[in-house]
Homo-oligomer: A and B are copies of this chain.
Amino acid sequence: MSEAERDAGQFAYEGLDRVIHERARLGVLTSLIAHPKGLAFGDLRRLCQLTDGNLSRHLQVLQEAGLVDVAKSFERNRPQTMCHITAQGRSRYLDYLAVLEQVVRDAAAAVKANPAAAPLSDLAPA
């Protein structure tokens, strides 16, 4: 059995849930984990530097997956959209985070073990 056969799937990272892993949604969920009382749409947009349209689209994906709650209300007679992470969202985010930490550990170990890993061919292309 070759090394690669023994380690089949070592770098598959199936736990990197695609709903959460997408860059903008990862930012949105990390913002909401850091603000458990919820964030107004405008604050979330600024923290993640997304456009209105982009944030709306990603919130819809997260809401359909049951990871966030979006509630419209009135604040001083003005309509306000508040976003919260759900209990399920928090739980799935924690599972995702454990896999992300494994990626970082694998990567840091590989980089440390191979400090001069660049093949010579990059330095002097044929």
Contacts and interface: CB of A to CB of B under 8 A. Distances in A.
Interface of A: 2-5, 7-14, 16, 18, 21, 23, 26-28, 30-31, 33-34, 36, 38-40, 42-44, 46-50, 69, 84-88, 90, 93-94, 97, 100-101, 103-104, 106-111, 113-114, 117-119, 121-123
Contacts of A43: 2-4
Contacts of A101: 104
Contacts of A44: 4
Nearest to A116: B36
A85 B123 CA distance: 13
Nearest to A84: B119
A108 to B, nearest CB: 7
Contacts of A109: 34
A33 B117 contact: yes
A41 to B, nearest CB: 11
Given A4-B46, A43-B4, A46-B5, A103 B11 contact: no
Contacts of A42: 4
A42 to B, nearest CB: 7
Nearest to A120: B87
Given A4-B47, A33-B117, A117-B90, A104 B107 contact: no
